[in-house]
Structure 1
Amino acid sequence: MSYTKRFWLSLIMSIPMMIQMIGMLFNWMMPGHNWIAFIATTIIMIFGAFPFWKSGWAAFKNHNANMDTLIAIGTAVAYFYSVFAMFTHRAVFFESAAFITVFVLLGQVLEEKMRNNASSAVEKLLDLQVKDAEVLRNNEFVKVPLEEIKIGDMVRVKPGEKVAVDGEISEGSSTIDESMVTGESMPVTKSMGDKVIGSTINKNGTFVFKVEKIGSETMLSQIVELVKKAQTSHAPIQKLTDKISNIFVPAVLIIAIVTFIVWYVLVGDTFVNALLYATSVIVIACPCALGLATPTAIMVGTARSAKMGVLIKNGEVLEVINDVKTVVFDKTGTITEGIPKVTNVDGDEKEVLTVAASLEAVSEHPLALAITKKAKELAIKTQSVEGFTAIEGKGVRATVAGQEIIVGNNKLIENYQITDEMKKQMNTWQAEAKTVVLVGKAQKIIGLIAIQDAPKKNAFKAMNALKKRDLQPVMLTGDNQLVADAIGQEVGISQVIADVLPQDKADQISSLQAQNKVAFVGDGINDAPALSTADVGIAMGSGTDIAIESGGIVLVQNDLMGVVRAIDMSKKTFNRIKLNLFWALIYNVIGIPVAAGLFSVWGITLSPELAGLAMAFSSISVVGSSLLLNKTKIADD
C-alpha cells in the first residue's frame, strides 16, 4: 500500500478521536469512545504503522537502527500501553499513537509527491515527442508513425510542426524554438548542415533533415536518463548524515529511557506522564528531516538545472565543485567557434593551396577542413598522394609527384629552409591570433597559410563572470604561444598554457591540481582524458559522445555562459543541502529538551501527538526549502 493510501486511511480512522478531543473542550464524552478509539487505532496500526514496525525490526535484527526504529517504538509504546490501560480502567492515549502515525505519513506523502513532481517535470519532456512525421518514401513524403522512422530517413518539417527526432538539415532553412531542451529562450536560425533536436518546434520555414538518432539515442532521451540517474545519486555528504543517524537513534533511545527514569523515579511523577515524556522524546527526535535534506535538494536542483540546459550527472559533482578554484578551458571548439577559416596565404596561392589541399583532403583535423574548403572555393584541383602519414601534434607528410611534401606547424620544419621574410610574416600573423600552417616541398618552405578561429561572442563575458566568483580561468591549447596569448588576451584569460600535445592535456590538469581543485571544460575526443582527470569535467553538448560521457556536467548548449550557470546552480544546490541539514539538526537539538519536559516548570510541554506534528512539520520545512531552489535566481553576468 502506498504512503498516500496509508495516510488517507489513517486520517479517516482518526476522525472519531479528533471529534472526541474537540468534545472534551466542552465537557462532552463520546459514548464508547475508548472502544471506538481502540478499534480505529488498531486499524491505523495494522495498515499505517506496521510497515514502520517491520522496517525497524529488520534494522534491529541487523544490529542497526534507522528512522523507522524511532517511529515504531513511539507508536508501539503509545498503542500497547493504551490497550493495557483500557482493560485495567486507566487513562488511555490511543490518539497519540494514531496521530503520530498520521503526521509521519503526512510528511512521507509530501516527500513522495515532491519526488514525483521533480521526476515527472523532466519525464514530461518525452510527452513532447510527435506521434508521426512526413518521411520520404518512394520519392514522396508520407506520414509515418514515430516508431517506424529509421536512421538515414529524410524527414520534412513544415512551419509550426515539431522536429520528430535528431538529425542534420539537408535542404531549406528556418528558425527553431529549442527552449524545452536547451533552456535558450530565443529561437535559433538553422540552415543546411546544422543539427536539429527532436521535439523542438519549427517556427517559420520548411526544411528537410536526415535522421541521425532515434529512440533512446536522441538528445531528449539522454537528458531524461541523465537526470534520472542524478536524482537517485548520493552526494558524499550523505554519508555524514547516515553516520549521524546511526549514532543519533541509539542516543535518542537512551535519552528517552533516562527521561522516563528521571520523571518516574526521581521526580515521582505518574507512570503515564513519565511514559508520555519518553514517548515524546522518541517521536520528536525521529531524524526524518535529516534523511530528506540531501536527496530532496539533489532532485530539485538537478531538475531545475536540466531546464536551464545544464545536466548534472551525480550528487558528488555538487559537492566537489564547491572547492574548485581553477577552471581550465580547451581552446578550439570551446573558447573559439571551432570553425577555422583561411584568412591569408603567403607564396604562390594556387601552388600552396594545391599542395596543402592534396594532403589535407584525407585529414579530418579542423585546420585541414579549412584548407580544403578554401581550395574548393577557388576551384583548385587536388593531386593524388602516396605514403600519407599523420604526425600527431605536428602535421602531415606525403609524397606528391615524386616529391616529399609536408603541411603542419613549425615543429615539423626542422630540416626545411625558410626565408627571413616568411618568418617575419609568420610572427605577424601569430600576433594577430592566427594559426600559421607551413607548406614544405623538396626540403623548402614554399608558403604559409593563415587560419583563424574566432572566439565565441560571449567568451569574454563568461571569463569575467568566473573572475567575479573568485575563479581563475585558464586556457589549454595545442596552438603556439603567440596565437594562444592573443586569443587569451581577447577573451580575458591571463594564464595560457600552449603547445600542449593532445596526450599531454591530462598531465597539465594533474599539475594544476597540485595547487587547487580543477574543473575542465572541453568538447573533443582528445579532451576525454582531461575531462576524466579533472576534479569536475564539464562537457560541451555540441561535442562528441565520448566527451559527454567523460564529463560530470554536460552543457546542452554550446554556450560558455552555461559554465557559469552550471557552477552557480551546483553551488546553490549544495548550499541548500547544508542549510537543510542545519535546520534538521537544530530542530532536534531544540525539540528534544522540550519533549523531555525540561521546560515544564514554565508550562512548556509537548505531548506525543504534538511531537508527531512537529516532526512532520520539520520534514515539510526541509522539502519546502528544497523546492525553493526552483525560485532561486541565477545571475547572467
Structure 2
Amino acid sequence: METATKSLISKTIPVTGMSCAACAVSVESMLAATEGIREAGVNFATQSVRVLFDPSKTNTSAMQQVIRSIGYDLIIDEENATEKQAELQASAYKQLQRKTIAAALLTLPVAVIGMFFMDMQYGNYIMWALTTPVLFVFGSSFYINAWKQARMGKANMDTLVALSTGIAYLFSVFNTLNPGFWHSRGLHPHVYFEAAAVVIVFIMVGKLLEQRAKSNTSAAIKKLIGLQPKTVWVIKDGEPVELLAAQVQPGDIILVRSGEKIPVDGVVEEGESYVDESMISGEPVAVHKTKGVPVFAGTINQKGSFRFRADKVGSETMLANIIRMVQEAQGSKAPVQKLVDKIAGIFVPVVIGIAILAFLVWVLAGGNNAVTHGLLAMVTVLVIACPCALGLATPTAIMVGVGKGAEQGILIRDAESLELGHKVNAIVLDKTGTITAGKPVVTDTLWKASARHLQSELEGILLAAEQQSEHPLATAVVQYLKERNAVPVKLSSFESITGKGISVKAGNIGYKAGSYKMALEDKMNIPADLQEAAGKWAAAAKTVICFAQDNEVLAVIAIADEVKPGSAKAVEALKKMGIDVYMFTGDNQQTAAAVAAQVGIQHFKAEALPADKAAFVKSLQDQGRIVAMVGDGINDSQALAQADISIAMGKGSDIAIDTAGMSLISSDLQQIPKALALSRSTVRAIRQNLFWAFIYNLIGIPLAAGVLYPVNGFLLNPMIAGAAMALSSVSVIGNSLRLKWKKF
C-alpha cells in the first residue's frame, strides 16, 4: 500500500524476525537513521513498518539491506507481501510449536532427576545430555536474539534468559566434570541443569501463545479481498464476455446476474434488482436498484439481473478504499511496548552489574576461598534473578482472563485488548445488528373490524402473495404469517408494481399489498383506527405495509428492526462506569433518533458511511480518549481497526469478528460492561504479579550477593536460590488463578 505526499512516499512494509517490543524499537531506530527516510513507525502487533521516504534518495531494497544487517528482514514484494507474511508467520508458529514440544519432552526427565534423584549414578551426565539440546537447539533463538541486542548495546528479556540459563548451564557442566574442585574446599558441587531447562520451556510456551495470535493478523484483510469477484461479464459487441476483474476499464458495460457479486463501482444502465449493501451501510434490507442508481464493488445482487456502466475500478472502488483504510488503521497504531520488555531493558543491566560487583567485592575482600565464594555469589544472583516470575506475571494473568472471558461468552482475540479495556472512556456503537437484532420482523398488525371474522382466509391470500414478492420486507411478513400457521391459497394472477408493492387475484377478487404511500396515492379507503395506528408506527420509525381488497384497506402491518432486550440496560451500565456512549448508523435520521431514544443514547449520527465511523473514532482519539468500537458488519471494519478496543457481535460478519480484538458470542450488549470489568480485574492482577516479582528480586538479589555474610555468616546457596525462584513463580500463578473465581 502506497500513497504520495508531494515528493515523499508513504508505504507500509511487512517485517519478519521481530520477537519483542525491543526488536521493534531497533528496526524503527535503524530505519529512522537511514538517509532519505523522513519517518518510520513499527507496529509490533501487525509485524509491519510504515515509512515516509524520499524516493530520490532511497528505495525499499536499500531499506531491506539495512534491516537485514541487524538480523531482521522486510518483505518488499508488493503483489504478494501480505500472503508471504502470513505464510512466514504460519511456518514460524509451526516450527516454534515443534520446538516447544520437543524441549518439554526432554525437560521432564531432567526436572524429575534434579528434584528427586539428584544423587543417582550418572544423573548429572544424563541431565547434561538432555539439557544441551533444550538450550542450544530448541532454545537457540534466545541466545541469538540476546547476541543481536548486545551488538546494538541493548538488552531485553532474551538477554536475561540467555545469561541466567547459560551461566547456570556452564557452572553445572564445570561441577559435573570437576566435582573435586569443590570437594577439596569443603563444598558440595551442585548442578542447575533442571533450572536452566525449565526456564527455557516456560518462556517458549509464552512465546508460542504470542505467535499464535500474530499468525491471524491478516485474516480480516484476506476476507475483505475475497469479496472482490475474480471474473466479470463485460458486454462486447452486444454479447457478454468473461474477463478478469482486473481488466475492467471505466466505461465498460457489465452484466450482473442473480446471486453474483458486483465487481466494480458504477451506475445502472439497464434492468432492475435488489442489492445487498450491508457491507457499506450495515442495513439488512436490500436496496432497490434501477436505471441511474449507483452500485458498489463487493455488494451482492439478490434477485434479477441488470447491466451497469463501470465508473471506478481497481484501487478506486469503495471496497478497495475500505481495505486500504483497514490496513492503515492497523498499521498506524503505536508499537506495542510490552511492560515486561521495558522493565527488562533496565532490569537486565542492573542484575548483570550486581552479579559482577558481587564477584569483585568477594575477590577484593580476600579471605579463605574468596574467589570460590565470589563465583558462587555471582551465579546465585543470576539464578535468583532469572525472569521466570517476571516473565509469567503478564501471560498467566492474561491466560486466566481470556479463559474467564470465554466462560462468560466473551472471546478475546488479543492480549492488548484485555490490557487496555480498563482505560476505555468512550464507546461507539453501531445500530443495526449491535443495538438492534439486525433482522426486520413484524412488530404490530391491526385488521379492519369487519374483516376480522375472515382473517385466517385473508392471511392465506397475503401469504401466497408475499411468497412471490421479491421485496426484502416480504420475508418478514412471510415469516410472521407462517408462525400464525397461515395456509397459502392458490392465486389466479400476480403482478409486481415497481416501487410500490404487488397486485394479485384470488378467484375474481383483486388484492394489493404495498407501502402506506401506495395506499395514499391510489386514494384507498383507510379506516380511521388503521390510519391512527399507521401514523403512530411511522413516528416510531417503523415501515408500514397496507393490505387491501380492491380499494379498501383491510389491514396495516408494521415492520421494524427491533432493539435487543438488553441494549438499554447495557447503555445504562456503561454510563455508570463513566463511559460516554455514541451511536453511528447508516440508517435514516428518523430511525436513528427513535432507536437512540429507546436505549437512552444522547449522541448519535445517521446516514454514516464506513469512512465516517472511522473518522469519528479517530477524532475522539485525537482528543485523548481511549475508544472502544462495537459493530457487526463489514461496514464497521474500518472503525473497528481504528479503535483502541474493537468488539464484534458474534453473529456478525466474519470480517468484523476477525478485525475485532473481542467478540461477544451471544451478541448481547450487556456483555460489554462485563468485558471491561474483566479487563480491570486482569490488569490489577498483572500489576500485583509484577509487584511481587520485584519484591522477590529486591530481597533475593542482595541476599544472593552475600550482604548478610559479614553480619552472621549467611550465604545463600544457589540451590536454595533456584527453589526461591520456583516459589516466586508459583505465587504469581496462584495470584493469577484468583481471577477464575471472581464474579462479573
Q: Could you tell me the TM-score, scaled by structure 2's length? A: 0.53
Q: Which runs of 5+ in 1 are unaligned?
A: 17-35, 118-234, 389-395, 440-445
Superposed, 1:478-489 pairs within 5 Å as: 478-489=586-597
The residue identity in structure 1 corresponding to 2:351 is V
Deviation at 1:89, TM superposition (A): 6.4
Find the counterpart in structure 1 of residue 242 from structure 2. none
Which residue matches 2:716? 606
Does residue 625 in structure 1 map to residue 735 in structure 2?
yes
- Name the SS of the counterpart of 2:563 in structure 1: coil
Report the Cα offset of residue 261 of structure 1.
0.9
Is the contact made by 2:166 and 2:196 (CA closer than 8 Å) also made in structure 1? Answer: no
Residue of structure 2 equivalent to 1:260 = 359
Specify the alignment match of 1:330 in structure 2. Answer: 430
One of 155, 164, 174 as aligned partner of 1:80: 174
Partner in structure 2 of residue 4 of structure 1: 108
Amino acid at match of 1:273: H
Partner residue in 2 for 1:571: 680
Contact 1:279/1:608 (8 A) holds in 2: yes
Is residue 329–residue 521 contact of structure 1 (8 Å, CA) maintained in 2? yes
- The residue type equivalent to 1:608 in the other structure is P
Distance of 2:360 and 2:729 partners within structure 1: 30
Alpha-carbon distance between aligned partners in 2 of 1:14 and 1:88, rounded to the nearest angstrom: 17
State the AA in 1 paired with 2:444: T
Question: Partners of 1:63 and 1:478 in 2: how far apart?
Answer: 50
> What secondary structure does 1:560 align onto?
coil
Going from structure 1 to structure 2, the CA distance change for 1:511 and 1:112 (only over 3 Å counts) comes to closer
Quote the Cα distance in structure 1 between the aligned partners of 2:180 and 2:733: 39
Residue aligned with 1:91, SS: coil
CA shift in 2, pair 1:506/1:116, >3 Å:
closer
**Residue-by-residue CA offset, 1:542-601 (whole Å, 9 max, x unaligned):** 233333233221111132222223222233334333332333233223321221122334
- The Cα offsets for residues 407-437 of structure 1, whole Å up to 9 and x where unpaired, read as 8899x9xx999xxx99998774455x34245
Structure 1 position 6, deviation (Å): 1.9
1:456 paired to 2:557: no
- Over 3 Å counting, the alpha-carbon distance change for 1:575 and 1:406 in structure 2 is farther
**Match status 1:306 vs 2:406:** yes
The SS at the match of 2:425 is strand
**Which amino acid letter does the alignment assign opposite residue 330 of structure 1?**
D
Structure 2 stretches of 5 or more lacking a match? 1-104, 151-158, 210-333, 452-457, 505-511, 547-552
Compute the displacement of 1:67 (Å). Answer: 0.7
Counterpart CA distance in 1 for 2:513 and 2:643 is 35
Given residue 46 of structure 1, which amino acid in structure 2 is its aligned partner? A
Rate the CA distance shift 1:358–1:500 in 2: closer, same or farther, 3 A: farther
Measured after TM superposition, the shift of residue 284 of structure 1 is 0.9
Alignment check: 8 A CA contact 1:479 1:499 kept: yes
- Aligned pairs for 1:221-236 within 5 A: none
For residues 425 and 451 of structure 1, the distance between their equivalents in structure 2, rounded to whole angstroms, comes to 13
Partner AA of 2:690 in structure 1: L
Corresponding letter in the other structure for 2:628 = A
Change (3 A) 1:57 1:499: closer
Q: Which residue of 1 aligns with 2:694?
A: 585
The answer to whether the Cα contact below 8 Å between 1:587 and 1:618 also exists between their aligned partners in 2 is: yes
Q: Relative to structure 1, is the Cα distance of residues 492 and 267 closer, same or farther in structure 2, using a 3 angstrom cutoff?
A: farther
Contact 2:168 2:196 survives alignment (8 Å): no
TM-superposed CA distance for 1:112, in Å, is: 9.1
Residues in 2 aligned to 1:88 and 1:6: alpha-carbon distance in whole angstroms: 23
Q: 1:84 to 1:59 in 2, by over 3 A?
A: farther
Please list, as runs of the form range in 1=range in 2, the aligned pairs for 1:78-157 lying within 5 A after superposition. 79-80=173-174, 84=178, 86=180, 90-91=184-185, 93-96=187-190, 98=191, 100-103=192-195
Find the aligned partners of 1:473 and 1:302 in 2 and give their Cα distance: 25
Which residue of the partner structure matches residue 507 of structure 2?
none
Equivalent of 2:705, from 596, 613, 626? 596
Q: For 2:628, what is the secondary structure of its paired residue?
A: strand
Question: Given that residues 641 and 660 in structure 2 are in contact (C-alpha distance below 8 angstroms), is that contact kept between their aligned partners in structure 1?
Answer: yes
Q: Distance in 1 between matches of 2:705 and 2:443?
A: 79
1:73, CA displacement in angstroms?
Answer: 0.8
Change (3 A) 1:49 1:296: farther
Partner of 2:476: 370
The change in CA–CA distance for 1:427 and 1:397 in structure 2 (over 3 A counts) is: closer
Distance 1:88 1:560 in 2: 66
Kindly indicate whether the alpha-carbon contact (under 8 Å) linking 1:59 and 1:66 is maintained by their aligned counterparts in 2: no
Separation in structure 2 between the aligned mates of residue 409 and residue 550 of structure 1, nearest angstrom: 40
What is the CA–CA distance in structure 1 between the aligned matches of 2:176 and 2:372, rounded to whole Å? 10
Tell whether the 8 Å contact from 2:431 to 2:584 is kept in structure 1 after alignment: yes
Cα deviation, 1:14-58, whole Å, max 9, x if unaligned, reads 146xxxxxxxxxxxxxxxxxxx7xx54344333346634664754
CA spacing shift, 1:324–1:426, aligned 2, 3 Å: farther
State the match for 1:283 in structure 2: 383
State which of 601, 604, 610 in structure 2 corresponds to 1:493. Answer: 601
Once residues 532 and 334 of structure 1 are traced to their aligned partners in structure 2, the CA distance between those partners, rounded to angstroms, is 17
| CA distance in structure 2 between the partners assigned to 1:309 and 1:6 by the alignment | 40
2:656 aligned to 542, 547, 551, which one?
547
CA deviation profile, 1:190-239 (whole Å, cap 9, x unmatched): xxxxxxxxxxxxxxxxxxxxxxxxxxxxxxxxxxxxxxxxxxxxx97663
Bigger mean CA deviation after superposition, 236-245 or 102-111: 102-111
Distance 1:497 1:408, change over 3 A: farther
Determine whether 1:435 maps to 2:542. yes
Q: Distance in 2 between matches of 1:435 and 1:492?
A: 19
Distance in 1, matches of 2:630 and 2:566, equals 15
CA distance in 2, matches of 1:272, 1:526: 69
SS at match of 1:470: coil
Q: Deviations over 1:360-395 (max 9, x none)?
A: 93244xx55435657888979795448x6xxxxxxx
SS at match of 1:554: strand
* 1:558 lines up with 2:667 in the alignment: yes
The 5-angstrom pairing of residues 58-73 of structure 1 reads 58=144, 62=148, 64=150, 65-73=159-167
Aligned to 2:134: 51
The letter for the 1-side match of 2:559 is I
Contact in 1 for aligned 2:466/2:477 (Cα 8 Å): no
Rate the CA distance shift 1:258–1:416 in 2: closer, same or farther, 3 A: farther
Query: What SS does the aligned partner of 1:329 have?
Result: strand
Shift of 1:257: 1.6
- Structure 2 CA distance, aligned partners of 1:579 and 1:313? 23
Task: Find out whether 1:476 has 2:584 as its counterpart.
Answer: yes
Distance in 2 between residues matched to 1:264 and 1:302, nearest whole Å: 50
Which stretch of structure 1 is more off in the superposition, 301-310 or 61-70? 61-70
Alpha-carbon separation, structure 2, partners of 1:530 and 1:602:
63
What is the Cα deviation at residue 312 of structure 1? 0.9
Does structure 1 conserve the Cα–Cα contact (< 8 Å) formed by 2:183 and 2:189? no
**CA 1:613–1:408: 2 relative to 1, 3 Å:** farther
* TM-score of the pair, normalised by structure 1: 0.61
In the alignment, residue 570 of structure 2 is paired with which amino acid?
A
1:199 paired residue number: none
| 1:312 partner letter | I
- AA at the equivalent of 1:609: M
Report if the CA contact (8 A) 1:67-1:245 is conserved.
Answer: no
Q: Give, in whole Å, the separation in 2 of the partners of 1:4 and 1:343.
A: 67
For 1:330-375, what per-residue CA distance to the aligned partner results, in whole angstroms no more than 9, with x for missing partners? 223322334432536899x99xx99xx88993244xx554356578
Letter in 1 for 2:735: S
